[in-house]
Amino acid sequence: MTGGGLLIAGTTSDAGKSVVTAGVCRWLARRGVKVAPFKAQNMSLNSFVTRDGAEIGRAQAMQAAAARAEPTALMNPVLLKPGGDRTSQVVLLGRPVGELDARGWRAGRRERLLGTVTDCLAELRRTHDAVICEGAGSPAEINLRHGDIVNMGLARAARLPVVVVGDIDRGGVFASFFGTTALLSPEDQALVAGYVVNKFRGDVTLLEPGLRMLRDLTGRPSLGVLPYAHGLGIDEEDGLRVSLRGTVRESSVAPPHGRDVLRVAVVPVPLMSNFTDVDALAAEPGVVVRLTDRPEELADADLAVVPGTRGTVRALAWLRERGLADALARRAAEGRPVLGICGGFQMLGERIEDEVESRAGTVPGLGLLPVRVRFAAEKTLARPVGEALGEPVAGYEIHHGVAEVTGGDEPFLDGCRAGAVWGTHWHGSLESDGFRRAFLRRVAADAGRAFVPAPGTSFAALREEQLDRLGDLVEEHADTGALLRLIEDGAPAGLPFVPPGAP
């Protein structure tokens, strides 16, 4: 197999494209295939820094892990990071190149990027046996088709066969499959080779009459019915949607190793980014992680986490408007643990000078840490390593804010601790097992809880188990022979046209 490819599209956003792409990557990797993931254009506030300092979507980094490949900027050449309802920061080949509103993006920037996107895909195909591409939204968004570089525009340019995934848990999956196909032009339809039903519950034989009818109507087979399975969400793309479905254990909590559970409240700040930081906490037996925007629930938790955000000044105002700033201040005064990560760390400081992100000038912070923040035009993208609480730590940094630490009780990674308030720019630090356990022991002591971290929890091993489960789903419930033929040979010739086609 040399340079084969496949595009996983979806009937809707959140149909399961990311999960299926990761599952196909892991299934192929286990077969000894050198495989890479690819997403031409991603809109996400959840991002990751590669070893060479490039910023890509966090979902593509997780798909690379599924493929057992080192993540690179080639896997996600265009990343859009929303800064509000109408504007996004454009990250091209891992580096920010400016802010753009939706009208400017539609005015032709996408079309000019098609060459960059196809060049990146061609390079991956040159160096890998197979590249599994993920689409975005739906390929049948006919208002956007003329400038599409991630769905059928990419498939046409690179001659990729397309498999469409539909979420049956939402209902209407047969209509979605048929309608998606029927709204595509004849040239686009010629690449749509089949369908995958995702999140099915129950007896699959009850679905088979509908699958046969769908094949009769479209001339295309169903290539798999994937059962509904809890705890399979990989890292989320959409930081605008409040969700913790990316956590390893979702809402279920393993029994505590000690006598008490530890309750963690995560504040869902506007434009929340890299909230996957708390996944490692949710993986710990006895740690209950919940999102809350209620001051009383924040006050009652054993640990309050203020996560990152693409709108630090806006999030700071939001905390004050909802009484959450006062709740955090009371926690600090009472010696009850608070952790700020990246933008959350910046908000806990004394002041923020921002002429870059919000252009609000100097804004007072919450004053819980002796830190002053100045926003720089150049973004910091790094993969730091160090030590904290006597344990080795690795993380990654993605921020414009430059922090000046002027005091505190002790250094904490690149930030500091003052009383029971901790702050750092390092994302991903809690994935370092020894450090996470040491931090939770300190939190439990400050919170007065008889919580003891389980000694054997390995976050990396749990992630591997999760990715293997995704591979199992594909191997056990998809037509893997048909998928291999598509990857190797492309879409079969003579697929019928389904009227009416694109207007």
Q: Are 245 and 56 in contact (CB under 8 A)?
A: no
Report the relative pairing of strands 361-364 and 397-405 from DSSP bridges. Answer: unpaired
Helix-strand-coil percent breakdown of the chain, rounded to 5?
A: 35, 25, 35
Q: What is the C-alpha separation between 304 and 306, in angstroms, rounded?
A: 7
Catalytic residue chosen out of the listed positions 128, 342, 399, 400: 342
Whether the ω angle into residue 500 lies within 30 degrees of 0, i.e. cis, is yes
Exposed e or buried b per residue across 327-362, where buried means at least 16 C-beta atoms within 10 angstroms of its C-beta: bbeebbeeebbbbbbbbbbbbbbbebbbeebbebee
Catalytic residue chosen out of the listed positions 128, 399, 400, 427: 427
> For the packed helices 208-218 and 173-182, what is the interaxial angle rounded to 10 degrees?
10
473 burial type by CB count under 10 A (0-12 exposed, 13-18 middle, 19+ buried): buried
Looking up tokens 């061609």 gives: 122
In the residue annotation, 427 being an active-site residue is answered as yes
Exposed e or buried b per residue across 458-469, where buried means at least 16 C-beta atoms within 10 angstroms of its C-beta: ebeebbeebbbe
DSSP string, 79-129: EEEESSSSEEEEEETTEEEEEEEHHHIIIIIHHHHHHHHHHHHHHHHHHSS
In the residue annotation, 120 being an active-site residue is answered as no
Report the relative pairing of strands 262-266 and 287-291 from DSSP bridges. Answer: parallel
Q: What is the C-alpha separation between 312 and 298, in angstroms, rounded?
A: 19
104 burial type by CB count under 10 A (0-12 exposed, 13-18 middle, 19+ buried): middle
Q: What is the C-alpha separation between 453 and 441, in angstroms, rounded?
A: 7
Exposed e or buried b per residue across 364-396, where buried means at least 16 C-beta atoms within 10 angstroms of its C-beta: ebbebbbbbbbbeeebbbebbebebbeeebebb
- The kind and range of the H/E element at 200 are strand 192-200
Catalytic (active-site) positions: 342, 427
